[in-house]
Amino acid sequence: MPYPAGHRERVRKKIIDSARRLFNRRGFESVSINEIMADAKMTHGGFYSYFGSKSDLYAEVLSCFFTDPEWKNQWEDVEVDLASSQAAAQVVKAYLSRQHFEDVENSCAMVALPTDVMRLGDDAKRAFEEVFAAMVGVLERSVKDRKQERRAKAQAVAALCVGAMVVARSLENRVAADELRDVCMSMALHLGGWVNTSAMKNGAREESAEEVLASVG
CATH number of the domain at 190, please. Answer: 1.10.357.10
Task: Return d(Cα 127, Cα 165) in angstroms, integer.
Answer: 20
Q: Quick check: helix, strand or coil at residue 86?
A: coil
Does one domain contain both 17 and 69? no
Does one domain contain both 12 and 70? no
Nearest of 166, 167, 132 to residue 151 by alpha carbon? 132
Q: At what angle do helices 147-170 and 87-95 cross, to 10 degrees?
A: 20
Does one domain contain both 44 and 92? no
Does one domain contain both 195 and 125? yes
Does one domain contain both 103 and 74? yes
Q: What is the CATH number of the domain that holds 22?
A: 1.10.10.60
> Domain residues for 80?
65-216
pLDDT of residue 181: 97
Written as tens digits, the pLDDT of the chain (217 aa) is 566 777 788 899 899 989 988 988 888 888 999 999 999 999 888 899 999 888 888 878 877 777 776 665 568 788 888 888 888 999 999 999 999 999 988 888 888 777 777 777 777 788 888 889 989 998 998 888 777 789 999 999 999 999 999 999 999 999 999 999 999 999 999 999 998 544 433 333 344 444 444 444 4
Does one domain contain both 185 and 169? yes
Does one domain contain both 123 and 31? no
Q: Which of 43, 61, 79 is the last residue of a domain?
A: 61
Does one domain contain both 36 and 131? no
Q: Which of 12, 30, 61 is the last residue of a domain?
A: 61
Task: Return d(Cα 38, Cα 32) in angstroms, integer.
Answer: 10
Does one domain contain both 70 and 163? yes
Give the count of domains, the chain.
2
Supply the pTM of this predicted model.
0.77
